[in-house]
Amino acid sequence: MHGTPPTDRDHPRERPATADEAAASWLVRSHGGLSDADSRALAAWLAEDPAHGVALERLRKTWRFLDDVAPLHRRRQRRARLRRAAYAAAAAVFVATVAGGVAWWERAPPPTVASVVYQTGRGEQREVALGDGTTVWLDTGTRISVRLSASARAVSLAAGQALFDVTHDEARPFTVDTATARVRVLGTRFSVRQTPVGLVSRGTGVSVSRGHVQVTDPEGRGHVDLLAGQAAHVAPGGTPARVATAVGETWREGRVVFDDTPLADAVAELERYGDTHLVVAPSARALHITGSFSARQPEAFARAVAHILPVDLQRRGTEVTFTGRASQR
């Protein structure tokens, strides 16, 4: 697969596209959302030469400038023609840039931006390159939808957790929305986790590895600013609150970290990574666990818990049940 977008099939002998021409093509394609194959192709193209990223960012800035200077009133009968000309307009950006001037023309607003959905199955992890140069790592059981436009970059995290390494772009804030929180950044590296309803620690957790993010609740009643090494949690119906433990990227290393976590919540986390069914009996539900464990070795986790906490293990096929010891009941 080649990183440069394909040329017209009717002209197979055309010269290879220059960096600016390829960047113009990628710019237009990213406004409509990139498929998985496109995301991989874009990542490969950006990795081929540092000049590719420079060309793409230069055209993005020019595109935004043209958005600002476009006339506010357009004749209705010209809109359809201008929409069809949007792709040609992006190519014209290249011509204007090389000439050292600015081409002034009317063009239609960017097309409606469709969401692109990325997700992982049980035990699966995945790396995705977005059209703006941002990299996203999806943990097991994660689902996100992405919308990139000339003025904003929006991600919705429906389930699971993801790590974002965001390309800096002051003109296009990057936001991540969950059921209980909104995270807003310009350029940084951070992790967001959506814990499902039914667990004690349900809600949204945010950890920052680099840079600065702002976390708010959906209604905007409160916010916290986080720097590298800091974390926050937003419970359903609540406002953001700082927490002591910043788990961050440990899941990318195959580890899960618990800090006075209810045993039932810890078990639910381990189950996301494999097929072993872990059950916490009512007699052990009041127990909490602290420590770092391998995410893909549930049996080792079960044995460790039996050494740390007053529980016994009962096995039936692939199911392991934690029961509180009689002396602790």
φ/ψ of residue 78, rounded to 5: -95, -10
The label of the residue with tokens 């959906």 reads: 218
CATH 2.60.120.1440 domain extents, the chain: 116-243
Residue 260's pLDDT is: 87
At 288 the pLDDT is: 93
Mean pLDDT score, 58-75: 51
Query: What average pLDDT does this structure show over 273-301?
Result: 89
Compute the C-alpha angle 298/288/286, nearest 5°.
Answer: 110
Domain with CATH 3.55.50.30 in the chain: 254-328
SS3 304: helix
Q: Is 329 exposed, middle or buried (0-12, 13-18, 19+ CB in 10 A)?
A: exposed
pTM over 0.85: no
Question: Domain 254-328 classified CATH 3.55.50.30?
Answer: yes
% helix / strand / coil in the chain, to the nearest 5?
30, 30, 40
As a whole number, the mean pLDDT across the chain is 76
Indicate the CATH number of 116-243 among 3.10.310.10, 2.60.120.1440, 3.10.129.10, 3.30.70.580.
2.60.120.1440
**Spatial distance between the Cα atoms of 21 and 233, rounded to a whole number of angstroms:** 44
Local confidence band at 24 (pLDDT 50, 70, 90 cut-offs): confident
